[in-house]
Chain A
Amino acid sequence: EDKVVQSPLSLVVHEGDTVTLNCSYEVTNFRSLLWYKQEKKAPTFLFMLTSSGIEKKSGRLSSILDKKELFSILNITATQTGDSAVYLCAVEALIHNNAGNMLTFGGGTRLMVKP
């Protein structure tokens, strides 16, 4: 059974701090790993990672994948109160018989950034 585990479950920091969120996975037929940010409504897409060791960056957010050790991290530097959200990690795997892909989500990390 495919499994995605995120840590920590929750995190409280102050504005300006740097945070690192972790995602480890065990899946068969790995295709990619995705990070989402969920505030009050639907998750919004942040990154898709397919290759080991290549950092993806968007403003203060960056992420990297280690396919050997089966984990990814999401870094947020100079945090702001607007970064407060649940961050979801999902792993995309190939469905049997090459019929398509499916996502397995982790439980999320709830980040709270205090002023």
Chain B
Amino acid sequence: DGGITQSPKYLFRKEGQNVTLSCEQNLNHDAMYWYRQDPGQGLRLIYYSQIVNDFQKGDIAEGYSVSREKKESFPLTVTSAQKNPTAFYLCASSIQQGGGRDTQYFGPGTRLTVL
């Protein structure tokens, strides 16, 4: 089946630890995105990547890092520098047609809780 997978579903970490969230897609999409959602708020963009080996900061990139070594994978690392990391993290992907009307498809999300 084609789709986007995120793992783990739930993640707990202690303060001061880095943690990496996985996002994989087999839709052959060029673009991938990471969003964060906090209670009562809309999605906020952390990082996005339009092509392999390239990525750009979104609106709230501080305290996060990403890599895009393969088209299918876009892992997000939440570093200890992130002041308030407890949130629901969503990964998405889309075909990037440069001016086309792309729909983003979302993964199931990872809920990160910092203890």
Contacts and interface: CB of A to CB of B under 8 A. Distances in A.
Contact of A100 (B43, B44, B96, B107): B96
Nearest to B4: A42
Chain A, interface SS category: strand
A105 B35 CA distance: 10
A45 B105 contact: yes
Size bin of chain A's contact surface: 20 to 34
B101 A50 contact: yes
A65 to B, nearest CB: 13
A98 B99 contact: yes
Contact of A42 (B98, B99, B103, B109): B109
B100 A101 contact: yes
Given A50-B101, A88-B43, A42 B108 contact: yes
Contact of B101 (A32, A41, A99): A32
Nearest to A31: B101
Interface string A18-50: 000000000000011010000001111100101
Contacts of B40: 9, 107, 110
12 contacts: A48-B103, A50-B101, A88-B42, A100-B96, A100-B97, A101-B102, A102-B45, A102-B48, A103-B45, A105-B35, A105-B42, A106-B42
